[in-house]
Structure 1
Amino acid sequence: MTPLPAKPARLFPTARAEAAVANKPTSTAQTEHPAYRLAFQDDEFLLRDEARPVRLQLELMKAEIALAEARIASTFVFYGSARIPSPEDAAALVAASEPGDDRRIAESLAAKSHYYTVARELARLASSVGEDAAGKQFVVCSGGGPSIMEAANRGAADVGAISVGLNIVLPFEQVPNPYVTPGLSFQFHYFALRKMHFLMRARAVAAFPGGFGTFDELFELLTLVQTGKVPALPIFLFGRDFWSRVVDFDALADEGTIARSDLDLFHIVETADEAWAIVKAHYSL
């Protein structure tokens, strides 16, 4: 009996190949109508409300595939304000402000510019861990924007390491900061999917002074750890003066709305070295 020919690697054509053919149809009333487009090439169809479950899946899948292909085994996540200036820009921010409340706010933000330096230094330390058999460890991951986020990605770039940026579509333009690795710069429509990617590989999280976005990300993480959805990991709140003023954690425990032991879920720290020492001890680095 003559041996059967080897089975081809693929039985069906790839979607890419089929799409190339589908893009060159004979022009008729039928082929010109959107209904004739391949579903995955039909933007009008994909953007319908009914296709939301598909879009949610795509936002989860796209970044996940890219991070896996980059062999990113774990991340060090940075949360923080998009308004705190770098030390180089602090004086200019104050100088450009108007006398009065505007000047007071500018001076308050400028006084926090040292956190930019701290975030940058912590990112350098995390990025120096490198790679093991499982992949790249403690890869810096930020929201991809300016200020504290920029400092984190910049710290990774300082030591020649890759870093991740997870931007979100906002009513005002938010351009990825220039220090994010281009192939690891993502843009999200859904906050929920963005927050999932922040935490799926996180082995440590640093929260610097910030606003609603920082609070949203931080308290969701604390809730996940508190409820056992996420294993305990080093969580850092940078700036005792800031955090003790804006959140009275002890009062929550005194009121009984959280357990006293929940105060041990995070560390309030001031310096990069202080936080990194806790990470090293936690993971026996």
Structure 2
Amino acid sequence: MSQRTQPPKKPGIPGPHGKPQQPDRSLTPRKFFKAEQEAAFSEAAPQDTEQTRHPAYRLAFQDTDFLLGEDLRPVRFQLELLKAETLLDEGNVGSTLVIYGSARIPSPEEAKLLQEGAGRAADEAEPLSDETVARLIAKSRYYEEARRLAFLAGEAAIVEDGKRQFVVTSGGGPSIMEAANRGAHEAGAESIGLNIVLPHEQAPNEYVTPRFSFQFHYFALRKMHFLLRARAVAVFPGGFGTLDEFFELLTLIQTGKMKPIPILLFGEQFWNRVINFQALAEEGVISQEDLSLFRVVETAEQAWERINKFYQIYPKHPG
């Protein structure tokens, strides 16, 4: 039997910068280099000329000046949406329990220092009145309730369709936000922090899971990520930011842009003092039924029970 004659080997096809590469005859692998590979080729290029040194020659995705230009705002919007979405998908996050609340309410440890006169309330530049400090100290219990609610969600470790459910999500900062991430951490669960670039309150709290610690430039994109996966929202006492997020959520559900989810408002005394919801209905600017979009609770257990009941997470026991 005669042997088949093999064709003579041809020299390798020149690759980047003249380095030979062997032809890839398989059908499935990609034939183009990845962007990171092309970027490495570009950085390793031996040419050093007036043309290559000019900013115009930079690869567009490596040109920071270009990416930060006014005309690139739509692209930056897309990037802020896509980055967190991609990493949360990779992290197998199916749904979230979002916890809103003040960045100024002290933890019990901080409240004790305030009582002893060793701390400064809410990191204020100007001293607060004794009455205001006393009110902040009294609200430190909500830190513990946020921490407890996050612990309950983390401890439950609910998985559905192969995805983790009710992953605790906060704004990533101090106070109530810290309590949320802390509670999940203590339950051995990962949690998400959605920080925003501000002149203050910038560092993520130490309990946010590092791979889910995000930073946003645009409030709109941050708020979108708060609600894209939200299946329940707990709203603790807070200021402008908390009210903004709370009322936007109510508006989305009221107008039918978002399906109803459990909204748990913590602290009847606080909310009745700062907002007269019933008066809005009596004035005719909202419907009486709109007041049922949220429920007022006092404890983490009450909130978690309502979430469980809404989604029928646990089977009903006879009797």
TM over 0.5: yes
What SS class does the counterpart of residue 233 from structure 1 fall into?
A: coil
Q: CA RMSD in A?
A: 1.6
What SS class does the counterpart of residue 67 from structure 1 fall into?
A: helix
Contact 1:116 1:147 in 2 (8 A): yes
TM-score when normalising by structure 1: 0.96
Q: 1:82-131 CA deviation, whole Å, 9 max, x = no partner?
A: 00011111021241359984332221111100000000010011112322
Q: Hey, what's the Cα distance between the residues in 2 that align with 1:34 and 1:220?
A: 42
- For residue 58 of structure 1, the aligned residue among 76, 79, 87 is 79
Alpha-carbon spacing, 1:85–1:139, altered in 2? closer, same or farther (3 Å): same
Structure 1 residue 103 corresponds to structure 2 residue 123? no
Structure 1 residue 84 corresponds to structure 2 residue 111? no
Aligned-pair distance for 1:172?
2.0
The residue type equivalent to 1:224 in the other structure is L
Q: Hey, what's the Cα distance between the residues in 2 that align with 1:262 and 1:271?
A: 23
- For residue 34 of structure 2, the aligned residue among 11, 14, 20 is 14
1:130-141 matches, within 5 Å, as 130=157, 131-141=159-169
TM-score when normalising by structure 2: 0.86
The residue type equivalent to 1:112 in the other structure is K
Contact 2:174 2:201 in 1 (8 A): no
Alpha-carbon spacing, 1:48–1:108, altered in 2? closer, same or farther (3 Å): same
Contact 1:204 1:235 in 2 (8 A): yes
What SS class does the counterpart of residue 49 from structure 2 fall into?
A: coil
Contact 1:97 1:106 in 2 (8 A): no
Q: Hey, what's the Cα distance between the residues in 2 that align with 1:43 and 1:150?
A: 32
Q: Hey, what's the Cα distance between the residues in 1 that align with 2:112 and 2:25?
A: 74
Ranges in structure 2 where 5+ consecutive residues have no aligned partner: 1-23, 314-319
Aligned-pair distance for 1:174?
1.4
Contact 2:172 2:194 in 1 (8 A): yes
Contact 1:97 1:103 in 2 (8 A): no
Q: Hey, what's the Cα distance between the residues in 2 that align with 1:20 and 1:157?
A: 38
Structure 1 residue 67 corresponds to structure 2 residue 85? no
Structure 1 residue 46 corresponds to structure 2 residue 73? no
Q: Hey, what's the Cα distance between the residues in 2 that align with 1:160 and 1:174?
A: 25
The residue type equivalent to 1:102 in the other structure is S
What SS class does the counterpart of residue 128 from structure 1 fall into?
A: helix
Structure-1 residue corresponding to 2:56: 35
The residue type equivalent to 1:20 in the other structure is A
Alpha-carbon spacing, 1:190–1:97, altered in 2? closer, same or farther (3 Å): closer
Aligned-pair distance for 1:190?
0.2
Structure-2 residue corresponding to 1:119: 146
Structure 1 residue 192 corresponds to structure 2 residue 220? yes
Structure 1 residue 266 corresponds to structure 2 residue 286? no
Q: Percent identity, aligned pairs only?
A: 59
What SS class does the counterpart of residue 192 from structure 2 fall into?
A: strand
Larger Rg: 2
Structure-2 residue corresponding to 1:151: 179
Structure 1 residue 220 corresponds to structure 2 residue 248? yes
Q: Hey, what's the Cα distance between the residues in 2 that align with 1:64 and 1:257?
A: 36
Number of equivalences: 282
Ranges in structure 1 where 5+ consecutive residues have no aligned partner: none
